[in-house]
Amino acid sequence: MNSNNTLQKSLLLIPDISGFTKFVNETEIVHGVHIIAELLEIIIKNNSLGLTVAEIEGDAVLFYKNGEKPSLKVIYEQCKKMFLAFHQHIKLYERDRICDCGSCSSTPDLTLKFIVHYGDIIERNILGHFQLMGADVTTAHKLMKNDIPNNEYILISENSFHESDTNNLPKWFTLKSHKTEYKDIGPISYHHESLTELLKEVPALTPRRKTDTSQPIQLSLNWKINHPIETTFDLLTSLERKHEWIDVKTINFDRNRIERIGSKHECITSLGTLQIETIQNEKNSDTMIFSEFTSASGIFPSTTQTFKFQKDGENSCMILLEVRFKNSFFNNLIFKKMMIKALNKAIESLQEALNKKLLLKL
């Protein structure tokens, strides 16, 4: 990577997530930022063209690659790879999400467009900060604001590809000519094509892990919680607040990821380490189901615990907990008694934590 005033020919590619501004201004910012960060990581990981990341710009990535102008086929295949991975991740997130906040529930509305421009750039290092500079860098960014009437497309500036280079491309990929007038720099001509057809090629999701019903239900416990079902469910499923009602020394989880089906975390207890995976989440207005699979260390068995919530009025709910584990003398005589004692204590703590939260609101 150079750091001088030498002009170099370079491909500039900007994948831009549409809807980001509305996303963070009108919904929960923290979850919104986490989701966008995940999607930007997906885009960067699907760089197969040897592009260099020059900058991450909030909801977009500025890639570049010095050298000869790539073919239109190569540009299309790179954009396609990123686009399919982006939408597959959104499908996965929508299927497996647990949180119903505005950011999480709005994720399927996010879209992706690509700006492609070929021109002269200068690589500079200013007080330890790398930056791309030059009129063509400005042009690429200007092209992000245009009047194309959809949110998912490839835009390629004029002269950034060879007009005759349309072999081996899908029949629907017929670039349309357009021009937009920009203040200070005048009109810029470009070609564009909608990527709606590519949505048909988003890979199907692999089946997620299901509750193992081959193990018998060894424990079935009921509790009444004097708080609304939504509030109770949110606290019980929150990894951030799990320490408020579960007796653990430490809870280890990825704080840059939002809890969802397939998420894993680790609970360090006085009796050993528990590896826990979320495997089920189902909701409607009156009933909710949440399941986890726990792999324990030492002599304790692996378990599947399923919490079934039932609305019992506006300000109360019932919780039925079913715990499955292998049938054995030790498990039935000792482990079951330990579980009953620990779970009853945990639900008491859950009720106290909910009471504290209610007092803070008053």
Percentage of the chain beyond pLDDT 90 is 60
**Residue appearing with tokens 């647990």:** 98
Output the pLDDT for position 125.
80
Output the pLDDT for position 362.
37
Per-range mean pLDDT, top range of 27-36, 128-137, 159-168, 223-232: 223-232
* Other CB atoms within 10 Å distance of the CB of residue 155: 24
Residue 106, pLDDT above cutoff 70: yes
Mean pLDDT (whole number) for 313-327: 94
State the number of CA atoms in the 13 A half-sphere of 339 facing the CB.
24
- Angle, alpha carbons 84-10-185 (nearest 5°): 95
Output the pLDDT for position 360.
46
The two tokens of residue 10 are 């370079």
- Angle, alpha carbons 222-327-304 (nearest 5°): 50
Q: Which domains does the chain have, with CATH numbers?
A: 8-201 (3.30.70.1230), 217-361 (3.30.530.20)
φ and ψ at residue 302, rounded to 5 degrees: -75, 145
- The Cα 213–Cα 353 span in angstroms is 32
- The Cα 357–Cα 362 span in angstroms is 9
Output the pLDDT for position 26.
59
Cβ-contact 223, 217 below 8 angstroms: no
Please give the full DSSP string across 68-114, using - where no structure is assigned: SPPPHHHHHHHHHHHHHHHHHHHHHHHHHB---SHHHHHGGG-EEEE
Sequence-ordered alpha helix ranges (H) in 132-260: 135-142, 229-237
pTM equals 0.83
Sign (positive or negative) of CA dihedral 85, 87, 91, 94: positive
- The type of residue at 157 is S
Specify which residues 273 forms β-bridges with. Answer: 268
Mean pLDDT (whole number) for 262-279: 91
Specify which residues 278 forms β-bridges with. Answer: 292
Q: List the one residue out of 129, 101, 112, 113 whose CA is nearest residue 34.
A: 101
The two tokens of residue 205 are 């999701």
Mean pLDDT (whole number) for 47-55: 95
